[in-house]
């Protein structure tokens, strides 16, 4: 059976990072989102952090009003964010851990220690008609907790694998194997499986070979490439890498 098409979610946070470096309104993450969709993105992801360091509240409402593809609202499972998402009603919400001091999302959500808290947030979001995904480590225990929490979707954290690949570290294959097994287990458990964090052309191509994964969320690498080749060209190259990897699935 042919593997399902792999969707590309483009994270526009770092367009806002550059905007905020100077204050003002430019570059506009909404323009980036529209351009990304025109270039083939299947959805847009934006992370409203507690400290609003990149995406701001008005970016979320402007994205909701402007884009024709689903918005994946990345958020911590705090009362403030849950209330905001429930009022805004994006297509999807991805629950992530958040620490003020981190530069980007470090590690997966603690779905075991924080089970009841994450479950309560998930129930409220689902009640508002939002598709909930949990950003988790690629581990069987985390997948089982996601089922018990009642989330229909998980996003596997690919950060450790991508970092190991970039550094040429010997654990890279072990990290990939964890992702491969987790993707298989997610499908067995009836969870829709996404993946993301730290992906570039090479790692996206490889992970596209895992047929259970149906969406990749990619931001930082694409925005870096866009500085040199432009956003449409970077997205086209990413799409080609994903399609090539998928053809081998």
Q: Give the interface with ligand PXP as residue ranges (CB under 6 A).
A: 11, 13, 47, 74, 94, 96, 104-105, 135, 155, 196-199, 217-221
- CA–CA separation, 201 and 87 (whole Å): 36
**Residue 30 near residue 59, CB atoms below 8 Å:** yes
What would the two tokens of residue 30 be?
């909404």
What would the two tokens of residue 200 be?
């570039």
H helices, E strands: number in the chain: 11, 8
- Judged by beta carbon, residue 74 or residue 225, the one nearer ligand PXP is 74
- Judged by beta carbon, residue 104 or residue 148, the one nearer ligand PXP is 104
Verify whether residue 197 is a known catalytic residue. yes
User: Please, what is the end-to-end C-alpha distance for the chain in angstroms?
Assistant: 10
> Cα 203 to chain center, whole Å?
15
Q: State in angstroms the smallest separation of the CB of 5 from ligand PXP.
A: 19
Q: State in angstroms the smallest separation of the CB of 230 from ligand PXP.
A: 18
Residue from 14, 54, 74, 98 carrying the catalytic annotation: 74
Which residue, among 2, 68, 65, 61, has the nearest Cα to 35 in the 3D structure? 68
Q: State in angstroms the smallest separation of the CB of 1 from ligand PXP.
A: 27
**Residue 214 near residue 192, CB atoms below 8 Å:** yes
Q: State in angstroms the smallest separation of the CB of 34 from ligand PXP.
A: 19
Cα 80–Cα 9–Cα 224 angle in degrees, nearest 5: 95
Residue from 98, 155, 197, 215 carrying the catalytic annotation: 197
Q: State in angstroms the smallest separation of the CB of 126 from ligand PXP.
A: 18
**Residue 132 near residue 92, CB atoms below 8 Å:** yes
- Judged by beta carbon, residue 88 or residue 105, the one nearer ligand PXP is 105
- Judged by beta carbon, residue 13 or residue 137, the one nearer ligand PXP is 13
Verify whether residue 174 is a known catalytic residue. no
What would the two tokens of residue 63 be?
């994205």
- Judged by beta carbon, residue 2 or residue 91, the one nearer ligand PXP is 91
Query: Residue 214 phi/psi, 5° resolution?
Result: -115, 0
Residues with a known catalytic role: 47, 74, 197
């Amino acid at each position: 059976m042919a593997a399902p098409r792999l969707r590309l979610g483009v994270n526009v946070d770092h367009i806002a990072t550059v905007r905020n470096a100077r204050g003002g309104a430019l570059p506009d993450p909404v323009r980036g989102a529209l351009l990304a969709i025109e270039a083939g993105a299947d959805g847009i992801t934006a992370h409203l952090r507690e400290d609003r360091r990149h995406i701001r509240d008005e970016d979320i409402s402007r994205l909701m009003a402007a884009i024709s593809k689903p918005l994946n609202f990345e958020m911590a499972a705090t009362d403030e964010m849950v209330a905001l998402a429930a009022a805004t009603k994006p297509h999807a919400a991805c629950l992530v851990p958040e620490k003020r001091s981190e530069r980007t999302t470090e590690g997966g959500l603690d779905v075991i220690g924080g089970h009841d808290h994450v479950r309560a947030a998930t129930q409220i979001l689902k009640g508002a008609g939002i598709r909930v995904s949990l950003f988790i480590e690629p581990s069987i225990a985390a997948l089982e907790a996601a089922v018990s929490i009642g989330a229909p979707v998980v996003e596997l954290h690919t950060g450790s694998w991508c970092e190991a690949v970039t550094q040429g570290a010997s654990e890279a294959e072990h990290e990939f194997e964890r992702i491969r097994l987790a993707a298989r287990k997610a499908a067995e458990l009836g969870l829709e499986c996404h993946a993301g964090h730290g992906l570039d052309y090479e790692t996206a191509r490889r992970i596209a070979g895992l047929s259970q994964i149906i969406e990749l969320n990619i931001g930082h690498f694409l925005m870096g490439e866009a500085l040199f080749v432009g956003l449409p060209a970077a997205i086209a190259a990413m799409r080609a890498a994903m399609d090539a990897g998928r053809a081998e699935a």
